[in-house]
Structure 1
Amino acid sequence: MTEDSMNMTVKLDGVGESLEFSAVWLRDNCRCKDCYNYATKQRSIDVTLLSPFCFACHYFFENEKLHLTWGDGHKSTFDIAFLRQYSQLEQWPQPFLWKGEEAKSLVTAISLGKFNQLEGQEEVANSILRNGLAIVSGVEPTLSATQNVIERLAPIYHTLFGGMWEVGDSLEHRDTAYTKAAIGPHTDNTYFLYPAGLQVFHCLRHVGEGGETTLVDGFHAAMELKSTDPQSYATLAGTHVEAEYLEPARHHRATGPILRHRAGTTELEQIRFNCYDRSPRLPANANAFYSALRKLAAILRGADNEWKFKLEPGNVVFINNWRVLHGRASFSGTRNMVGAYVSMGEFLSRARVLKLIR
């Protein structure tokens, strides 16, 4: 271990690995009983008492632990595994970007019997993280059975549409989804400050024709744009666009970029694409924005980027609303579709509990 006045470098013998830390960060993250409350899993240390010039006057390694004695006499002990984990960004499963019909071979329906076991829930969550969607089959075509499946994975996200919702053609809400018209690929809730993370669908019954679902991997489309026109990609990542939802007694608005990256990285975290809900608010650099938006829209609507299939009773489809766009063909007759939203925070919480994100 080496140190200067502000930083410490920990060299791990035998593995050729070096970890560098700010000394004040180490002191702030002391896990002794005076600095950390193990009952609540919260820190107890007062940040105003931390000296930016703190230093360790003595240290030693023993049994995969680093022991430090600070200049003021305080002692700290750190597991090397803890230091390694928190010296890097959170580790996520590597996403697999797909194009159109490729999704068919990636997404295997998981039976309800398997999903009712922890292993099946882990498989569904992992598929959502990696592929952006998952399917649970063999579910009774009722609202209550669908709700049970969703809540086994994560709590339902309540919005102005309720918790569990049923979509028909009644225009109960002022939304195109409540019609029989075709709907182009889009993501939901762009007018919310925190759009739903997952969108869940279950077609209970359809007596009629049409209504095929269209799914598009928005991340794949964004990467295609980035490779062919990096300036347009940068424009959509840097221009904040307003979306809104209007009905009697409700007026939601939210602003954000079409393409948003995970904090501290260049990794794409969210695509917010919904031309139905964009407000008339003038965006900055409007000409460049519209040029970039047209190019992304053309990619998203390319036939080779679309996966089209018919939702069948018994199949509950989980979609990552921050990545995969959904749409549908127009339909005739009577169709009963139920579903719900799940917040991204709740889904990621479950993924961490399942050790899929570390």
Structure 2
Amino acid sequence: MFVIRRIRSAKFTAIPKLSRHIHSHSVLLKQSEHLNIDIKGHSLKFPFVWLRDNCQCEECFHKSAKSRILDWSNFDVNVQPIDVTREGNSIRVSWTDGHQSSYNIEWLKFRSFTPENQRKYSDTIYKPKKVTWHGKDFQKVFTKHDYNEILRSDEALYNWLHNFSVYGVALIQNAPHSETAVDQIVEKIGFTKRTHYGVKFVVQHVPNTSNVAYLSSNLQMHTDLPYYEYCPGTNLLHCLVQTASDGGENLLSDCHHVARYMKENCPEEYTLLTETEVEWSDVGVEHGNEFFKLYRSPVICLDSHGAIIRINFSIPQRGSHFPGPIEKVVPWYKAHSLFLNLNHQFSAKFKTQPGDILAFDNIRLLHGRNAYEDDTNNVRKIIGAYLDWDEIYSRLRCLKVKLRNEEGIC
């Protein structure tokens, strides 16, 4: 084994014994902030402060709540190990604060700080890596899943949610002719995102409506509810009745593909759409409830790494107040027009049939609908529900642990 001891000079040094799993590189540990561990041929480093903060003993971590209970009011960020030993499949550490910790080898390996491991964790546990698509490739990425299989099989549920999260769109087929059919799908995941349109909503032709989505005329490409700061992440549309007339097809476009194209080919317009705040609004009455919603955000929202986290786009719901400087108005409108034109150019067309539930990412895809005829003998009726990505990713992780568990995840 490998033992670390304090010596008279008040420095820490490593004294090697027989071990293939813990070693140092002849450095003074007082000058280091990491513990070097060799795990199955991989040399891994773990910061002392991280190790102490993540002690898994019952004094520091509540097992059933899976939560840290370490008292941080007395925590020493400069804590150092004074003794490290290997015991079977665990590493045992004695600390300068008098505490002792034990770490499972696989638990440590799963949380290693190597770039390769962190990428793997991000793409498999945190969120599946997205794959962008052009409309011409839509049928290659548009996976189809059976309603009853999803309800009775965790494997089928996982496959649907995984494909949905990767491509931003997926289809459920053979749903029953019931206005509550989509509820059973939602309940397999979590719960709906309620908005001022209710727990669910009905999309059909309604004269004198307060929402243009309820008309049978052409519905321009958009994201739903961009005026919500906590915008619904996904949209589930269950086709109960489809128009027999020409039209009524859904238009779908992957904005991540469009944004990447703009970043490479139209960088100035891309920058305008990522940096210029726009005011999104909705004013009206629904179910007797008055609302006046306002939210400001760019069309393309980026995280601190420059990755897209949200798309906002809706011509009807874009407010008339432009919060930016007047000099940006004309350039922004040109960039906005280019963005819409590219989405049309790269879009796919798909007409759902009764029993289909079309699921799509509401903060990634633009969606629209072609005009259709509506009369007493030819109607179209869709039942819609919103579901947040938080619930989907949570269910995916639970299913992954259950179906494809890797040692050390929990």
Pair 46,204 (structure 1): closer, same or farther in 2 beyond 3 Å: same
- The residue that corresponds to 1:148 in the other structure is 184
- The residue that corresponds to 2:148 in the other structure is 113
Q: Distance in 1 between matches of 2:321 and 2:201?
A: 30
Q: Is this contact kept in 1: 2:243–2:372, CA < 8 A?
A: no
Pair 72,307 (structure 1): closer, same or farther in 2 beyond 3 Å: same
Deviates more, 1:230-239 or 1:110-119: 230-239
Q: Is this contact kept in 2: 1:31–1:76, CA < 8 A?
A: yes
Q: Distance in 2 between matches of 1:177 and 1:109?
A: 26
Q: Say if 2:347 is the partner of 1:315.
A: no
Q: Is this contact kept in 2: 1:173–1:247, CA < 8 A?
A: no
Q: Distance in 2 between matches of 1:30 and 1:173?
A: 58
User: Alpha-carbon deviation of 1:329?
Assistant: 0.5
Q: Distance in 2 between matches of 1:212 and 1:15?
A: 56
Deviation beyond 6 Å, 4+ runs, structure 1:
none
- The residue that corresponds to 1:47 in the other structure is 72
- The residue that corresponds to 1:157 in the other structure is 193
Q: Distance in 2 between matches of 1:193 and 1:323?
A: 15
User: Alpha-carbon deviation of 1:9?
Assistant: 4.2
RMSD: 2.4
User: Alpha-carbon deviation of 1:5?
Assistant: 5.2
- The residue that corresponds to 2:234 in the other structure is 198
Q: Distance in 1 between matches of 2:103 and 2:42?
A: 19
- The residue that corresponds to 2:339 in the other structure is 296
Q: Say if 2:179 is the partner of 1:134.
A: no
Deviates more, 1:279-288 or 1:93-102: 279-288
- The residue that corresponds to 2:136 in the other structure is 101
- Given candidates 210, 215, 236, the residue that maps to 2:252 is 215
Q: Distance in 1 between matches of 2:209 and 2:84?
A: 64
User: Alpha-carbon deviation of 1:250?
Assistant: 0.5
User: Alpha-carbon deviation of 1:213?
Assistant: 0.6
1:336 is matched by which residue type in structure 2? K
Pair 64,292 (structure 1): closer, same or farther in 2 beyond 3 Å: farther
Deviates more, 1:12-21 or 1:142-151: 12-21
2:70 is matched by which residue type in structure 1? I
- The residue that corresponds to 2:62 in the other structure is 37
* 1:267-278 alignment, distance < 5 Å: 267-278=307-318
Q: Say if 2:386 is the partner of 1:341.
A: yes
1:129 is matched by which residue type in structure 2? S
Q: Distance in 2 between matches of 1:260 and 1:82?
A: 35
What do the CA deviations read for 1:304-354 (whole angstroms, capped 9, x no partner)? x11112111011111111212110001111211111000121111111112
Q: Is this contact kept in 2: 1:172–1:178, CA < 8 A?
A: no
User: Alpha-carbon deviation of 1:135?
Assistant: 1.0
Q: Is this contact kept in 2: 1:215–1:327, CA < 8 A?
A: yes
2:381 is matched by which residue type in structure 1? N
Pair 145,74 (structure 1): closer, same or farther in 2 beyond 3 Å: same
Deviates more, 1:168-177 or 1:136-145: 168-177
* 1:156-195 alignment, distance < 5 Å: 156-170=192-206, 174-195=210-231
Structure with more relative contact order (C-alpha pairs < 8 Å, separation 6 or more): 1
Pair 240,128 (structure 1): closer, same or farther in 2 beyond 3 Å: same
- The residue that corresponds to 2:397 in the other structure is 352
Q: Distance in 2 between matches of 1:236 and 1:79?
A: 47
User: SS of the residue aligned with 2:166?
Assistant: helix
- The residue that corresponds to 2:122 in the other structure is 90
Q: Distance in 1 between matches of 2:193 and 2:278?
A: 24
**Unmatched 5+ stretches in structure 1:** none
User: Alpha-carbon deviation of 1:149?
Assistant: 2.6
Pair 279,66 (structure 1): closer, same or farther in 2 beyond 3 Å: farther
Q: Distance in 1 between matches of 2:238 and 2:144?
A: 13
Q: Distance in 1 between matches of 2:244 and 2:143?
A: 27
Pair 105,90 (structure 1): closer, same or farther in 2 beyond 3 Å: closer
TM-score, normalised relative to structure 2: 0.79
User: SS of the residue aligned with 1:90?
Assistant: helix
Q: Distance in 1 between matches of 2:320 and 2:31?
A: 54
Q: Distance in 2 between matches of 1:256 and 1:15?
A: 48
Q: Distance in 1 between matches of 2:30 and 2:145?
A: 54
State how many pairs are aligned. Answer: 354
